[in-house]
Structure 1
């Protein structure tokens, strides 16, 4: 016979219960009671003066009536105390020692079964006048099952274990449903204080106290965000259920419910931001406008995840599983990984689309968002899986960076392919110049990011790469240009070369200089207006371009006004101190014709930069008006007054100034009519 003896007796500490279970037909003062569901596995025993064996022929109904008469009035509190006393008494016993099981144990299990049977999701199932919650009872059933497991070699004990295990399974199913319900309840997640969550098996005045269970205060919540949005009271209930399920051996079920529910809720949060799962094929088929919108949403989601979603989710998992940090860490890590993989898949799809210049800035926004996300998550996750996920994020960022480099370098092809043979009317700023400089200006607003991207992904040819610091014209050491700076200079050189070619399309050499001045000034104004471009191009490059502009101006002055000023020279007008009137008349006629022609042509030319326009007019006036006034003052007297004078002297100095101020307005003018003499 097995050494372990399981005796079901009335405990000595409960005289009321002991007396109430005496039977009329038995005279033994302290009977050994084996209930109907235990007796068939009970070991053989002999009857003596102090013990009576109840054979297994009794029916369940008779056993129940005899063992638990109707006049027994034992509260769940009393039964719970008996369970606690029993658990305490066998805590240090060896499994081979006989253990007496109080009859109140069965009464307690029956009471728990009734509570479970009564439970309807959403209802308050607390019994009248009961201060012991169902959750507390389930905790005791779990502990009871574990304690009786020490006596598994005894068949009677095994039967009782089977019973408590069945109750525990049903209880865990109930807890699992309640756990899911609390997590899914939209009223709870909305933070609406007027909508009270159901109190299924919690009694606020007597909670099931769990180890290291910190009370969550209302004022501890972060008022800056409503995510995940559960009230502290609900978080505490989730914590109690999770702790109970895990301590009862139902960790897998608990974690599965939590994972599925929180994943669905998190995806709903992303969906509310407009984020949708888009396949790689669908992304490839999208036109740029809808794809641009999808990228904008993706960036918003990334920033939201970086800001509150992930931190809120991590805090929730830690609050629900405070005594199981490994579990909470794993649950959060798995959820985060699932979301991040979705976001990375979108990057992969975007990076595979056809490259075009307009995509650069959205790609840079994506790159920056992803770059900010990585260090933000570094502080949230520390497990081994993080390194793997981090590696995937870095790989996705690398592919996006390669696309960015490729798109920016496509600017070279855009400039090279612009080979139009039609000159821009009036020598105005060429559309290619405007496009390129605006593109470069906006791109350089991402200077730090582009520097980083090119540093990591651009492969500089050996011919372009410098082996060390360079020296300037004064033999001063200067920093080696960065890869992005080298690329930008290459773009600017290509633009200059293209504009030089386009300037040759003008038949009028003076107009070609106006074209160069217009485009050169536009480029310099963009560079002056952008500290980033100026830093990248450097002072030396900027000084060289400013010098080129001054030279274009001088060339224009010489080409346009040199011949005009030649008419106002003294050479050839006098012979032996005598003014030759025919030559003088021809000089005035030539001057009038040249000035008329210049005014007619160059008033239609365009100089849109007001400063450059003013500089040109002032410089022209500074050389033409004084020379004309002097010439007129010295030689006007040699012409006959009256009609002859009017015939050859069409302009006064003030007229010249007025007509010069009409140049470069883009308004074609007819031949000049005489305004005053």
Structure 2
């Protein structure tokens, strides 16, 4: 049988019998044919209607105060699924040629009710989980595991996996994980349903208040330039210290955690995540990074304030990679610009203070010699200051890299170690400051009437400089060559002191102490030696060398040149003098005791005394001559 005939038989309607009722088409219009999809979508609406109506905030007092996501997580998952199915049904009927306006109206009303409920749930989770959505917990959690993409992920997780996950994190992180997952699921649902604005509005309001409060609790406040300018330095320094302790927490925890939270909650839309983070964090970040810029703009920042400015610069510089990453959005470019501008202003302030510091050294006009030829207060101040600067060498290197040192004459090679201007601008800059100090000290040495004391002053001060360099980061910056050259200069000053301070004593003895001379000549030599030694001793017991190593070296050097020569002369001629050692004797000092007298030297006036006061207490024997009480 032909196929066409078979189809005719199969699909042909039977002829009505005379006893049957009249044809349906003759009495009423035929209903539109319902497809399988129509039936499925209608069923979706019915299921959604049951669940959404049940949790309608206006339907009962219980649902008004309770939380869907807190009370029944299984039902929460079904609720989100029903909203998704409801949306599918609406799209189906909108695209259907035989769409039912009545069904669309029902679905639309249900959708509005569902969005109202989800909006409330979103607010409740954000509020209730506030302490568990803090930046520190979010930051910590993100380093261990990424957030689950939705609440439905919990359903697919096995019991054993869930238990393992629970045991591996703290209770706070568990609550944080669940809250973030619920927030993301609600946000995904509302955004896909076209109600993202309502969700975002709530999120921005609540989270901005949290970020603002976090910055306030860190002690960061919004200030104007006039307020900063008028502050006493003690007050401003306290605020700088507080800012330094706050900025790392603010960047690495507060803002970093907030960006992570935005990106995880609004993973469905990068633009929404950016918009939220911008509105939540931008104002607080501008307040945070506006402070160092204001400090950098302050007028009359004296050199003593340099190190706090460098601390601010270093803090921003060290955090720049995080700042650039966290505020990488185009909408937060103003934050990056402000951080960079803070560095610029702080760098300008540092340059100004360096120039002021150099000028202060050059303008020092003190005309009073330092008593006893000791270390000048200017030397102590400048070298302590420069050694502290060396601790910031990396930061200072960034600041002065485009600020070449300009002087009228080239500096001696000895002032640079193994560096040149291209390799280490900060080394050149610090070497120059030391040279400015040493030139100033040369002028101050001229204030002493005794030439030997002026050389001792230069030796003391240069020794202090060298010791400071060796004991700090300055050694690495200036180089071993620089140190060796200046140590050699100290020895040169010491030699000049010895020559000028002891030349009369050395000259009072004959060139050949063992030569045969008359008794009168011997007496003359002893008298000349006594007078010269007493004069040198009396002066130099009031002089001072604070550095023990240098002091010992000076006394040993004098002793080596003086005592052997005097001993030879003494042994050759003392017998002929016939009188014992004593105050009135021509032979007042035994060689063995010259070292005792020399040991009194260079401690300052407090420990000194005259030679005669010790001579009177000496023994009658030249071989046992010595000071009482030693």
TM bracket (short chain): 0.7 to 0.9
Counterparts of 1:224 and 1:304, CA distance in 2: 22
CA offset at residue 264 of structure 1?
2.0
CA shift for structure 1 position 254: 1.7
* Structure 1 residue 543 displacement after superposition: 3.5
Q: Distance between the aligned counterparts of 1:567 and 1:259, measured in 2?
A: 94
Q: Check the 8 A contact 1:86/1:101 in 2, yes or no.
A: no
- 1: CA distance between counterparts of 2:56 and 2:501? 109
8 Å CA contact 1:600, 1:668 repeated in 2: no
User: What does residue 115 of structure 2 align with?
Assistant: 172
Structure 2 gap ranges (5+): 1-23, 135-149, 623-630
CA distance in 1, matches of 2:419, 2:353: 33
Separation in structure 2 between the aligned mates of residue 465 and residue 147 of structure 1, nearest angstrom: 86
1:273/1:115 CA distance change after superposition, 3 Å: closer
Aligned to 1:327: 272
Q: Find runs of 4+ consecutive structure 1 residues off by over 6 angstroms.
A: 84-88, 100-103, 129-132, 151-154, 210-229, 470-473, 476-479, 571-574
Sort the Cα spacing of 1:615 and 1:642 in 2 relative to 1 into closer, same or farther, 3 A: closer
User: Aligned-pair distance for 1:329?
Assistant: 4.1
Quickly say closer, same or farther: Cα 1:642–1:162, change in 2 above 3 A. Answer: same
Q: CA deviation at 1:283?
A: 2.0
Whether 2:538 is the aligned partner of 1:592: answer no
Residue aligning to 1:407: 353
- Which of 488, 494, 502 pairs up with 1:561? 502
TM-score of the superposed pair, with normalisation by structure 2: 0.77
Offset of 1:181 from its aligned partner?
A: 2.8
Q: Does 1:659 align with 2:601?
A: no
Query: Is the aligned partner of 1:300 residue 2:241?
Result: no
Q: 2:557 aligns with which of 619, 627, 640?
A: 619
8 Å contact 2:166–2:174 — kept in the other structure? Answer: no
Structure 1 Cα separation of the partners of residues 167 and 584 of structure 2: 90
2-side partners of 1:426 and 1:364: how far apart?
A: 37
1:574-589 aligned at under 5 Å gives the runs 579=518, 581=520, 583-589=521-527
Runs of 5+ consecutive residues of structure 1 not aligned to the other structure:
1-30, 32-45, 53-83, 91-99, 192-206
Instruction: Provide the rounded CA distance (Å) in 2 between the counterparts of 1:639 and 1:421.
Output: 49
Aligned-pair CA distance for 1:610: 0.9
TM-score by length of 1: 0.72
With over 3 angstroms needed to count, the CA separation of the structure-2 counterparts of 1:259 and 1:618, relative to structure 1, is same
The residue that corresponds to 1:291 in the other structure is 236
Q: Check whether the contact 2:537–2:601 (CA below 8 A) recurs between aligned residues.
A: yes
Q: Pairwise CA RMSD of aligned residues? A: 4.3
Q: Using a 3 Å threshold, how does the CA distance of structure 1 residues 518 and 558 change in structure 2: closer, same or farther? A: same
1:346-403 alpha-carbon deviations (Å, 9 max, x no partner): 1211101232223222222222222232222444565434656434432321222121
DSSP 3-state at the match of 1:647 = coil
Once the two structures are TM-superposed, the CA of residue 152 in structure 1 deviates from its matched residue by 11
Q: Which of 543, 548, 552 is the matching residue for 2:489?
A: 548
| Contact in 2 for aligned 1:613/1:664 (Cα 8 Å) | yes
List aligned pairs for 1:27-106, cutoff 5 A. 48-49=27-28, 89=40, 104=46
2:84/2:189 contact within 8 Å kept: yes
Q: Distance in 1 between matches of 2:88 and 2:189?
A: 10
Q: Distance in 2 between matches of 1:103 and 1:384?
A: 42
DSSP-derived class of the 1:341 partner: helix
CA distance in 2: counterparts of 1:528 and 1:102, whole angstroms = 83
Report the Cα offset of residue 285 of structure 1: 2.2
Match of 2:609 among 670, 673, 676: 670
Query: What is the CA–CA distance in structure 2 between the aligned matches of 1:87 and 1:294, rounded to whole Å?
Result: 69
Cα distance change on mapping 1:226 and 1:105 into 2, 3 Å: closer
Change (3 A) 1:607 1:338: same
CA distance in 1, matches of 2:489, 2:105: 97
| Residues 541, 609 of structure 2: 8 Å contact kept | no
**Residue pair 1:314, 1:332 contacting (<8 A) in 2 also:** yes
CA distance in 1, matches of 2:406, 2:65: 71
Q: Give 1:6's aligned residue.
A: none
Say which SS state the counterpart of residue 607 (structure 1) adopts: coil
**Contact conserved, 2:372 with 2:544, CA < 8 A, in 1?**
yes
Distance in 2, Cα, partners of 1:419 & 1:47: 124
Q: Which has the higher helix share?
A: 2
Partner of 1:35: none
State the partner residue of 2:374.
428
- Please state how far the C-alpha of 1:415 moved relative to its aligned partner: 0.8
Quick one: distance in 1 between partners of 2:153 and 2:592?
101
